[in-house]
Amino acid sequence: MSRTAGASRAEPLRRPPRLAPGARVAVVAPSGPVPEERLQAGLDVLRGWDLDPVAAPHVLDRHDEFGYLAGGDADRAADLQAAWCDPAVDAVICARGGYGAQRMADLLDWPAMRAAGPKVFVGFSDITALHEEFAARLGLVTLHGPMAAGVDFLKNARAQEHLKATLFTPESVRTLASDGTALVPGRARGVTLGGCLALLAAGLGTPHTRLSARGGLVCLEDVGEEPYRLDRYLTQLSRAGWFDGVSGLLLGSWTQCGPYEKVRALLADRLGGLGVPVAEQFGFGHCDGALTVPFGVTAELDAGAGTLTLDEPALS
């Protein structure tokens, strides 16, 4: 797919099949290094769901020089591609985020991955870069949700149960409900997309990141960023025209980004003038009990009620 093909407006994407008991799930590390004890704990959770989890060969690697990477770019890419192209694998779940997905995205054989057919892909944070690639290159719905070795997943039953329901019985979680409020009230319809704000801004200008979020219900969150840096990312996306024509926005967690009242004021300043509904504190991202949000599905946002209702289940 070219950089401009299908990039001018968010469109619904192809839904992969749901999982069934006994499904094989590959756990990969496209970004940062993974602590072994957390990986093992995550595999145990997946086994408890009657899945057959397998760790990719390089999932516990650490780069010799750049310790923030889970091994070399080629090895991380090879793990993801091998898992995706293995006909015995039904889903690929990332172990954690961190940094590194952008570095290996162009090392993947995307035509081979497209030929392998639709599968479930799960991750968030730095994995935002791959959500964009999967949308552009594979035309595939992906799940912005907890990762297998994430502390927020291992220690939180709500996050586990919502991901499990999305994987096995997606019709039971067609409505995502938050405890948040409306930054800007109203209702809107569109196709879900988004992820980590810093990664969306970093993707601008790259070949397979969408040019615009027009027609989308944009989900945004981040972690560990000072308000001025959030301001920079939002302003960059705005100046690039990325927000032009969006249908609505869902704002997730802003953990370690400063006092929320300051973050909220910034979000209102940068996003309130778009003239679309904006729901805040929606409960996805780097937070306890994070919801799993499918990207690439048509849905309706009711910012006042704090609900996102999918037109159809995330998985077929």
Active-site residue, from 131, 144, 162, 286: 286
Q: How far apart are CA 80 and CA 290, in angstroms?
A: 24
Active-site residue, from 132, 221, 225, 280: 221
Residue 221 catalytic? Answer: yes
- Burial class of residue 224, CB neighbours in 10 A (0-12, 13-18, 19+): exposed
CA 111 to chain centre: 22
Active-site residue, from 31, 125, 178, 247: 125
How many Cα atoms sit within 13 Å of 239 on the Cβ side? 9
Rounded to the nearest 10 degrees, what angle do helices 260-271 and 227-239 cross at?
Answer: 10
Please report, for residues 8, 102, 124, 273, 277, the alpha-carbon distance to residue 233 in angstroms, rounded to integers and kept in the order given: 20, 17, 18, 16, 20
Q: How far apart are CA 39 and CA 180, in angstroms?
A: 31
Residue 144 catalytic? Answer: no
Beta strand extents in 266-314 (DSSP E only): 278-279, 293-295, 298-302, 307-310
The label of the residue with tokens 């998985």 reads 315
Q: Which residues are catalytically annotated?
A: 125, 221, 286
